[in-house]
């Protein structure tokens, strides 16, 4: 009698598991919207005004508008991505806070969710996959979840394969806080070199990286457009070389870093870049910054003593007008 009850219970449990699997696996996929709502278009205008204006303190206002637009139309991949970007921006430039709130780490989790939505709705935009990988790595690191961290790492490898010109930089930038003498950090630096290689269409000299002769390749369309400045990232070129220089300094190769920093000056919009003074300080202080960039001391003040990735210009170095 008791055996029969146990068998019946097991059968019921297996049946429930089977039903649950079938119910979930046969659910209709989420559909991407074919037309954007008026609320989404208005929220986008706010997004770009705040983002390009470097108005960090206005993130909450525009985030509310973008989230409201998403809730009205959860099939909009662009709106989902904008919500994800705002959360990433708030987390990335947390050094702006006099006292950093512990709850700011929640931005990594929310960002990952929205970038996952963007990837699901528009899997052909490999930028979304790169940002999803970055958010997943951030969340896994915050929660010391090795499984999630590995998941983010392999997502990043997929993103690199999908769009190397864009995601080699994203991958290296994301890993720029790894220990300077680790294999992951060496890989992150190599990814920056490979970004230059794929953008130039040939290997760039590791000892004398003069990018001047490649400036004629500047593009505004196609996959290589992300190698240059654009409406989305008005100073992408300058920001790339600032970060790569920082990474080389941390690696101890400060002399090559000075040459990489100097390449930022090749940009035709360098004179309008708000952070050119930071770059000039980097060149002057490159040797001294080796030790500074290798420490994680949160008491370090000012953009000149923090690597770009953990500074107040983590996003704005490329995106601020």
How far, in Å, CA of 303 to CA of 175, rounded?
A: 19
CB atoms within 10 A of CB 186: 14
Give the CA-trace dihedral at 125, 126, 132, 135, to 10 degrees: -120
Q: How confident is the model at residue 28 (pLDDT cuts 50, 70, 90)?
A: confident
DSSP code per residue over 197-208: HHHHTSPPPSSS
What would the pLDDT profile of 62-117 be if each residue is shown by its tens digit? 999 999 999 999 999 999 999 999 999 999 999 999 999 999 999 999 999 999 99
In which band, very low, low, confident or very high, does the pLDDT at 12 lie, cut at 50, 70 and 90? low
pLDDT at 7 over 70: no
> Which ranges of the chain does DSSP label H, i.e. alpha helix?
2-25, 38-52, 59-72, 77-92, 106-121, 126-142, 146-162, 164-174, 183-200, 236-251, 254-263, 276-284, 286-294, 316-319
Please say if the pLDDT value at position 217 is more than 70: yes
Q: Name the class of domain 35-162.
A: mainly alpha
Residue 211 pLDDT > 70: yes
pLDDT category of residue 14 using cuts at 50, 70 and 90? low
Across the chain, what does the average pLDDT equal? 93
Q: Please, which pLDDT band fits residue 149 given cuts at 50, 70 and 90?
A: very high
Query: pLDDT class for 35, splitting at 50, 70, 90?
Result: very high
Residue 283 scores a pLDDT above 80 = yes
Domain regions of the chain by residue span: 35-162, 164-321
Has residue 58 got a pLDDT over 90? yes
pLDDT value at 20 more than 80: no
- Predicted local distance difference test score (pLDDT) of residue 3: 58
Q: Calculate helix-pair angle for 164-174, 236-251, nearest 10 degrees.
A: 40
Q: Do residues 94 and 104 make contact, with C-beta atoms less than 8 angstroms apart? A: yes
Is 90 exceeded by the pLDDT of residue 36? yes
**What's the confidence (pLDDT) of residue 312?**
95
Q: Is the pTM of this model over 0.85?
A: yes
């Amino acid at each position: 009698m008791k055996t029969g009850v146990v068998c019946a219970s097991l059968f019921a449990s297996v049946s429930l598991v089977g039903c649950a699997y079938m119910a979930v696996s046969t659910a209709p996929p989420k559909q991407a919207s074919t037309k954007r709502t008026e609320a989404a278009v208005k929220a986008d205008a706010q997004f770009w005004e705040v983002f390009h204006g470097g108005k960090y303190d206005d993130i909450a206002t525009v985030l509310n508008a973008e989230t409201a637009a998403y809730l009205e139309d959860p099939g909009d991949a662009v709106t989902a991505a904008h919500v994800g970007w705002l959360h990433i921006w708030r987390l990335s430039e947390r050094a702006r806070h006099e006292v950093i709130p512990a709850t700011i780490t929640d931005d990594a989790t929310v960002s990952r969710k929205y970038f996952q939505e963007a990837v699901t709705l528009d899997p052909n935009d490999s930028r979304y996959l790169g940002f999803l990988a970055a958010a997943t790595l951030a969340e896994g690191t915050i929660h010391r979840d090795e499984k999630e961290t590995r998941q983010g790492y392999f997502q990043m490898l997929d993103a690199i394969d999908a769009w190397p010109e864009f995601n080699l930089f994203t991958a290296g930038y994301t890993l720029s806080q790894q220990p300077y003498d680790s294999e992951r950090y060496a890989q992150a630096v190599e990814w920056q070199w490979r970004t230059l290689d794929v953008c130039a269409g040939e290997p760039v000299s590791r000892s004398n990286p003069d990018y001047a002769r490649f400036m004629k390749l500047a593009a505004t369309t196609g996959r290589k457009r992300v190698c240059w400045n654009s409406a989305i990232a008005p100073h992408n070129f300058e920001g790339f070389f600032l970060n790569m220089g920082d990474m080389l300094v941390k690696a101890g190769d400060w002399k090559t870093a000075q040459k990489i920093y100097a390449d930022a000056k090749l940009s035709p919009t360098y004179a309008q870049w708000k952070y050119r003074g930071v770059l000039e300080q980097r060149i002057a202080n490159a040797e001294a910054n080796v030790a500074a960039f290798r420490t994680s001391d949160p008491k370090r003040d000012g953009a000149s003593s923090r690597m770009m990735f953990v500074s107040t210009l983590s996003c704005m170095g490329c995106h601020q007008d």
